[in-house]
Amino acid sequence: MKVLWAPWRMEYILGPKERECVFCVRQAEDKDRDNLILYRGPKSFVIMNKYPYNNGHLMVVPNVHTSSFDNLAEEDMLDIMKLTRFSIDCLTKAFHPEGFNVGVNLGEVAGAGIEEHLHVHIVPRWAGDANFMTITGEIRVIPEHILDTYDKLSPFFAGGKK
């Protein structure tokens, strides 16, 4: 019998749920590696998803706390898209994915896990990354510890947006 270990999930399942906005709290702290923040820009930042769908799952988050595009200035929206493109470039250089899922979930019924603060998901994809474990068992196997992924990606973000 094969055993699948994912001990980090228990922290998520049983851990205390934050009352404040997780993005605003992480952005205010000066612990980027601990908080998985890869890049800080003037209008938005890049953070790794602590509970990723796939290895290298990133999120681009506006500095402004909002759940709607309506509350963002034009320059904020432009910065989010530029940072999304930059993040895809960094992921491509670091991991050579064969494709990406990029999207925004607006509202709980649309799948937003953190619906109070808008964010763009960037999920690198490889052929065969969704196998029987994902399809029949609803289990995602992430092949690398999240801090190892952070350390691999960090140098690509260090140079800033191109």
> Token pair for residue 137?
């068992």
In order of 23, 62, 76, 80, 128, the CA distances from 70 in angstroms are 19, 13, 11, 14, 38
Q: What is the CB neighbour count within 10 angstroms for residue 160?
A: 9
Catalytic residue status for 119: yes
**Beta-carbon-side half-sphere exposure of residue 115 (alpha carbons within 13 Å):** 7
Q: Which residues of 74-117 form beta strands (DSSP E)?
A: 99-103
105: phi then psi, degrees, rounded to nearest 5: -105, 110
- For residue 37, the surrounding DSSP H or E stretch is strand 37-40
Q: Which of 65, 119, 121, 145 is catalytic?
A: 119
> Token pair for residue 80?
């989010």
Active-site positions?
119
